[in-house]
Amino acid sequence: MKEFGCFPDNVTYNTILGFFCKKGRLKEAGNLLQDMKEKGLMPNRYTFNILVSGYCKVGWLKEARKVIDLMVQNDVLPDIWTYNMLINGLCGEGRIEEAVKLKDEMENSKVLPDVVTYNTLIDGYFKHGSSEEGFRLVEEMREKGMELNSVTNNILVKWYCKEGKMDEASERVRMMEESGFPPDKVTYNTLINGYCKAGKLREAFEMMDLMGRKGFKMDTITLNTILHTLCKEKKLKEASELLSSASNRGYLLDEVSYGTLLAGYFKDGMADKALQLWSEMRKKEIIPSIITYNTIIGGLCQLGKTEQAISKFKELLRNGLVPDATTYNTIIHVYCKEGKVEKAFELHNKMVEKSLKPDVFTCNILLSGLCSDGMLEKALKLFNTWISEGKAIDQVTYNTMISGLCKEGRLEDAFHLVSEMKERSLGSDHYTYSSILGALASAGRMNEAEEFMSKMVEVENFREQSLQLKEQNVKTSEITEAYDPDSNVCSEQIIELCNQGRYKDAMRIFEASNQKGVTLNKSTYIVLMEGLIKRRKRLSKAVQ
DNA sequence: CTAGGGTTAG
């Protein structure tokens, strides 16, 4: 009896443990493990592996390694699952080199890498920008006589989609049809998402049709893809209708479905709808993941409801969820916005304490916080430390520093960063332009402003950018941007003056708005810059 | 108990 009672208990525990780990609810997982030990049940290979997977999922790799040590102590050797999960964890952190090293280590031990190992690494390389290495591993698989399975192919399809190479993606799918691994549900969902992201909605719907004809029923992920696309197109009403009709027609909705619409509402300034949806979701007992919590916290922060945001943060901790980098970044951001830079840094330290690595976002937020709080020197120091430590920085990092320097009138330093940016092949954009332009205008150096513009335009693909922004502007202008009246009035005036060819006057308004610290619409900068270029051409013609 | 599709932040 005892023996019989014991065995199913262990399995039961493992199953529930797996459920909690999958959902990122580590606190509950920990409690359960404790409970298990108290009942005198020994963790087995499954138990250990479940824990490794749980820790890897939330990025606690050190803890995952500790579990592995514990395994060895208990005479349970790590198996192919353990290795693959750890490799996946490393890839998720962008630590591909270490992951590959682990694969080599496996080869030396008796656990040989399998197709899962390769797929994990290939996807890791694709996700972190080294597609050549990814393809090299595909070659290595072939050399070893390993067959590419549908997961491998789906990884490739996804990569082509991400690169916007939809023709090559379809070609890959055609190859799959001839192989032993025909396209599956994931393949179709990947393609549908690819077409949606590329703005080719007609093709996306054709693909949904094809998916159905191939006998695959639309699932939650297909629905969520469409929901996301509708939200992106600002068709919130349609999205909301889809959500309720899908639910009525028996489709399963999950926390991602709700999270998607929630984010859509917040982005579109419909905060009350968002909050309403949140309580609707809670009523349906759909448990939000860390990402959904991030959405609501971000939304509340945007509304200036910091207290409520913090209370949601505490709530997620109580629910046993593990905050991720985004969670910390969001709260660090709101502290910076409120001028509580010290509190922001405290949280940054907490982040490090929890072995979460501050990323580009964290850096950018802190830099902008320091700059707008009049601590430019500190910002510069942080910026330089970040660079000397070889950490990743991006366009936004440079733009933040350039803007900070420009606001203090340190134009020469700003110019220096603009060229440094180019050296790192990070392109300038309208943020860069507007900072420099604004500083030059404030200093009354109009001629240089124009000169700077035409110089930039020669190098960057400015025209394309401006076309893109104009397109975006058509969409956003359909919805009233009511949140900043100052910004709208100034923007309209500037655009109107530019249309009349009165660029000098436009610059004057620009200068004034700049001094007041008013942020203009993206498109205003573009219109103004184009105007300045036209004027410059006109002047140079006149001289000739 | 591991790999591939959908959600978040500057």
pLDDT digits (tens, 9 = 90+) for A162-217: 999 999 999 999 999 999 899 999 999 999 999 999 989 899 999 999 999 999 99
Q: Encode burial over A398-408: b for 16+ CB neighbours within 10 A, e otherwise.
A: bbbbbbbbbbe
> Straight-line distance from CA A417 to C1' B9, in Å?
25
> Straight-line distance from CA A216 to C1' B4, in Å?
17
What DSSP string describes A314-347?
HHHHHTTBPP-HHHHHHHHHHHHHTT-HHHHHHH
Boundaries of every domain in chain A: 448-476+483-543
Task: Name the H helices within A198-324.
Answer: 201-213, 220-232, 236-248, 255-267, 271-283, 290-302, 306-318
Closest nt to residue A363, judged CA to C1': B10
At A277, the amino acid letter reads: L
Mean pLDDT value of segment A429-436: 82
Look up the protein residue whose alpha carbon has the minimum distance to the C1' of B9.
Answer: A326
Residue A525, pLDDT above cutoff 70: no
pLDDT number for residue A526:
64
pLDDT number for residue A389:
87
Q: Which range is least confidently modeled, A114-123, A252-261, A389-398?
A: A389-398
Mean pLDDT value of segment A127-148: 93
Q: Is residue A153 very low, low, confident or very high in pLDDT (cuts 50, 70, 90)? A: very high
The pair of structure tokens assigned to A408 is 């203090």
Mean pLDDT, rounded, of chain A: 85
Look up the protein residue whose alpha carbon has the minimum distance to the C1' of B6.
Answer: A221
Look up the protein residue whose alpha carbon has the minimum distance to the C1' of B10.
Answer: A361
pLDDT above 90 coverage of chain A, percent: 56
Q: Is residue A444 very low, low, confident or very high in pLDDT (cuts 50, 70, 90)? A: confident
> Straight-line distance from CA A54 to C1' B1, in Å?
10
CA angle A349, A352, A356 (to 5 degrees): 140
Q: Which range is least confidently modeled, A251-265, A355-369, A475-489?
A: A475-489
pLDDT number for residue A1:
41
At A280, the amino acid letter reads: E
Q: How far apart are CA A173 and CA A203, in angstroms?
A: 15
Closest nt to residue A368, judged CA to C1': B10
pLDDT number for residue A300:
94
pLDDT number for residue A481:
34
Q: How far apart are CA A34 and CA A260, in angstroms?
A: 36
The pair of structure tokens assigned to A107 is 């080869």
pLDDT number for residue A431:
80
Mean pLDDT value of segment A318-345: 92
At A26, the amino acid letter reads: L
Angle of helix A220-232 relative to helix A255-267, nearest 10 degrees? 0
Closest nt to residue A48, judged CA to C1': B1
Residues A234-252: pLDDT tens digits? 999 999 999 999 989 888 8
Closest nt to residue A289, judged CA to C1': B7
Residue that the structure tokens 């998720």 belong to: A92
What DSSP string describes A447-488?
HHHHHHHHHHHHHS-HHHHHHHHHHHHHHHHHS--TT-HHHH
Residue A91, pLDDT above cutoff 90: yes
> Straight-line distance from CA A8 to C1' B5, in Å?
34
Closest CA to A514 of A450, A455, A437, A448: A437
Q: Encode burial over A146-157: b for 16+ CB neighbours within 10 A, e otherwise.
A: bebbbbbbbbbb
Residues A16-70: pLDDT tens digits? 888 877 777 777 777 787 788 788 888 888 899 999 999 998 888 988 999 999 8
The pair of structure tokens assigned to A309 is 């945001």
Closest CA to A331 of A383, A357, A369: A369
The pair of structure tokens assigned to A351 is 């982040």
Q: Which range is least confidently modeled, A70-74, A297-301, A465-469?
A: A465-469
- Protein CB footprint (7 Å) on chain B nucleotides: 1-10
